[in-house]
Every structure is written in C-alpha cells, then in structure tokens.
Amino acid sequence: MKIRRWLAAGVLFAVVWVFVEGPALRPKAVLTTFLVGLGVGLPLAYLFRRLYSETVKLGGIVVALPYSLLYIVYFLKEIVVANVDVAYRVLAPNMPLRPQVILVPLRVETDIGVTTIANSITITPGTITLDHDPEENALYVHAIDGRHPEKIVEPIRQWEDYALVIFDEEGDPSDPAPEITVHPPGHPPEPKTLSEQTLSNSEVDTEETND
C-alpha cells in the first residue's frame, strides 16, 4: 500500500513535535499537541513536497518510525552533552578551543537525508555545517575543538545510520563509512554550492571595481 510522501512527512513532523513540546503524559494533552503538529506539519510538507518522491510504501513508514524515534532521542542526548561541553569551554580559564574544519563524506544521498544531517550538525552547539560538496557528497563541518575529529564525527555517523533507514536510502547502516579528511588549518574550503550566475556576477563586480 502506498500513500503520498508529503502526508507521511506531515504526520512524522507531528510525532516529532510531540517529543519536542513534551506535553503532560495525559491523553488529551498528547493528542492536542499532536494535532497542533499536524496543523503545522501538513501544510509545510505539502509546500515542500517536491523534495520527496511522490509516494511512499506504508510498510516503509512502519519500519522508519522506530528509527525516527531513535534519531530524536540520540539527537536530544547530543544536544545536552554539547551544551555542557560548550559551557565548560566558555567558563574554563584557558578556554580550550582548537577550531577545525573536517570534510565528512556521507552515505546518505537524498536531498532530505543530507539536509537533515546538515541541520542536525548545525543545531548541535559546538559544530556547524559550512557547506556541502555535491561532487564528493560530503559536508564541511566546523568544530570549536578539532583535536579529536573522530569523536566529532561519531554522532554524525550514528544519525546517518538512522537516516539511511528513515529515508529509505540505497545505502545500509552496515556499509563502511567513508574516511574523513581534516582540512589544513588556515585554509578555509572554497564554496562548493555557489551557482554559476553568482560567480559570474562576482566576476563582473570585481571588474567594475578594478575599472
């Protein structure tokens, strides 16, 4: 059985909203929060429906639901850990900060899968997604302390394992993760996602300035 993917995305948003809002564990409170999530999630999912394929198998939703819950729980746990870590670094006398850019190749390939991972990184304190390299399907991730890049990438790989199932990707969580690359210090990556028109306009502006 197949249903419209935007409908499934709207319902998933409502489920996520229940966990984010954290209503009292009473049927009426949970149902009210869920309906509010539907009221916001369905119109948004319909508006951005072109990001997904047209339909999705209902069985796939049943499989994806527990992984979605695992993703949320693990994400919230990382939010708490990262907040504590950043607070410590701010309050520590010697401010242990070693900024670093790490290139993280991904196994997820769909737009929504890559966007979910990228946003999760940015929302987590201490890390931010700088750019996506479409040729390598990799994210440039900036971390406030890059002395142990494997620890920074560990939660990203866990999110990716869940996302591979949630978004019905071709890859599998058991597939080996590609190796990361620590970007040379002092050499920020060149933007990878600028359009040709943007670059052309920049060149024109430069020529006019020189004239």
Q: How confident is the model at residue 64 (pLDDT cuts 50, 70, 90)?
A: confident
Write phi, then psi, for 138 (nearest 5 degrees).
-135, 150
Single-letter amino acid, residue 186: G
For position 202, what pLDDT does the model report? 47
Complete DSSP assignment for 44-80: HHHHTGGGS-SEEEHHHHHHHHHHHHHHHHHHHHHHH
Rounded Cα distance, 52 and 12, in Å: 14
Rounded Cα distance, 42 and 35, in Å: 10
Rounded Cα distance, 55 and 123, in Å: 29
Average per-residue pLDDT in the chain? 80
For position 199, what pLDDT does the model report? 42
What does the pLDDT average to over 62-82?
86
Q: What's this model's pTM, rounded to 2 decimal places?
A: 0.67
98 pairs with which residues across the strands?
145
What does the pLDDT average to over 72-77?
88
Instruction: Enter the DSSP assignment of 190.
Output: P
Asked if pLDDT for residue 105 goes beyond 90, the answer is yes
Q: How confident is the model at residue 190 (pLDDT cuts 50, 70, 90)?
A: low
Asked if pLDDT for residue 43 goes beyond 80, the answer is yes
